[in-house]
Amino acid sequence: MTLKLCGFSASNYYNKLKLQLLEKGVAFEEELVWTGNTHPKLVDRSPMAKVPFLETPHGCVSESMACAEYIEHQYPSHPLMPADPFAAAKVRELLVYLELHIELVVRELYGQAFFGGVASDETKARVKKQLTKNVAAFAKLAKFSPFVAGDSFTLADCAAIFHLPLAVMACKSVLEEDLLAELPVKAYTQQFADNPHVKKIMAERKANSEIMMALRSGKK
Ligand SMILES: N[C@@H](CCC(=O)N[C@@H](CS)C(=O)NCC(=O)O)C(=O)O
């Protein structure tokens, strides 16, 4: 069976895995799975009803970090994790900072930034305080020379390309301040503007976002 990436193309975590698969040249299919659907069949495949998840010949794997590691081990050619244990640990460290300490914190603003919700003043203050601290910590680790972990394109880039611009947008829109300003997010992401895989993902993200917004507003 062909590996199946399940989720939707507007999702930053979905796109992290999609870029990994495309960059590695792994054959895969996509299955459109929206969230907000706790149908038992979805929960059987992804117990938190989150996307992305992978359907593999061995069974399903949820959580993008676990999926990414499965892909690296199962398809070792064109590795996106360094072979050296310390260098690999530094890439994993960057991934945790990006996802646990930046993306998950700023995610609290997405409702207002992208879906017409309203973040309370308390939420805004909490996010601002936490994100200021966490971005400063990430800035100490990230190299951006030209890739997040240094001179090689790694899994940390597959995540950063999608998480960082989203975080900037959410901050600017909700807090009216770019809390990631000390990071070269614009210059960093611009270097991938001509990458055919990134271009394909961005085009599919745009199309899928339009469908998602129409579904949310009850138009489709
Ligand atoms: N830790 C998860 C985060 C994935 C995640 O938050 N996905 C979002 C879509 S971008 C989702 O499924 N949200 C629905 C929900 O939280 O119920 C991972 O790395 O896979």
8: left (phi over 0), alpha (psi -120 to 50) or beta: beta
Predicted confidence (pLDDT) per residue in 26-37, tens digit: 999 999 999 986
Measured by CA distance, the residue closest to atom 1 of ligand 1 is 63
28 and 66: one domain?
Answer: yes
Domain end marker among 74, 106, 123: 74
The arithmetic mean of pLDDT across residues 206-213, rounded, is 96
Tokens 């590695």 identify what position? 24
Q: Which atom of ligand 1 is nearest to the CA of 16?
A: 19
* Cα-trace Rg, the chain: 17
- Label residue 107 by pLDDT band (50, 70, 90): very high
Measured by CA distance, the residue closest to atom 14 of ligand 1 is 50
User: Which range marks the domain in which residue 147 is found?
Assistant: 85-183
- Label residue 17 by pLDDT band (50, 70, 90): very high
206 belongs to a structural domain: no
- Label residue 180 by pLDDT band (50, 70, 90): very high
Q: Give pLDDT, residue 1.
A: 87
Give how many domains the chain has, as a whole number: 2
Q: Give pLDDT, residue 41.
A: 84
Task: Determine whether 105 is exposed, middle or buried from the number of CB atoms within 10 Å of its CB (0-12, 13-18, 19+).
Answer: buried
The strand pair at 53-56 and 28-32 is best described as unpaired
Q: What is the pTM of this model?
A: 0.97
CA of 34 to the centre of ligand 1 (A): 11
List 108's β-bridge partners, or say none: none
Average pLDDT, the chain: 96
Ligand 1 site residues, Cβ closer than 6 angstroms = 11-13, 35, 49-51, 63-65
Q: Give pLDDT, residue 36.
A: 85
Give the whole-angstrom CA distance, residue 22 versus residue 197: 6
41 vs 79 pLDDT, higher one: 79
54 phi and psi angles, rounded to 5 deg: -110, 140
67 and 91: one domain?
Answer: no
CA of 62 to the centre of ligand 1 (A): 10
CA of 18 to the centre of ligand 1 (A): 15
Q: What does the buried/exposed string (b/e) look like for 1-37 if buried means 16 or more CB atoms within 10 Å of the residue's CB?
A: eebebbbbbbbbbbbbbbbbbbbbebebebeebeeee
The arithmetic mean of pLDDT across residues 70-90, rounded, is 98
Taking alpha carbons only, the member of 145, 139, 147 closest to residue 101 is 139
The arithmetic mean of pLDDT across residues 135-140, rounded, is 98
CA of 190 to the centre of ligand 1 (A): 26
Residue 133 has pLDDT above 80, yes or no: yes
188 belongs to a structural domain: no
Q: Give pLDDT, residue 210.
A: 96
Measured by CA distance, the residue closest to atom 10 of ligand 1 is 11
Taking alpha carbons only, the member of 127, 170, 164, 114 closest to residue 144 is 164
Residue 156 has pLDDT above 80, yes or no: yes
Retrieve residue 10's tokens: 């507007």
The arithmetic mean of pLDDT across residues 75-96, rounded, is 98
Residue 219 has pLDDT above 70, yes or no: no
Q: Which atom of ligand 1 is nearest to the CA of 14?
A: 10
27 belongs to a structural domain: yes
Give the whole-angstrom CA distance, residue 65 versus residue 128: 26
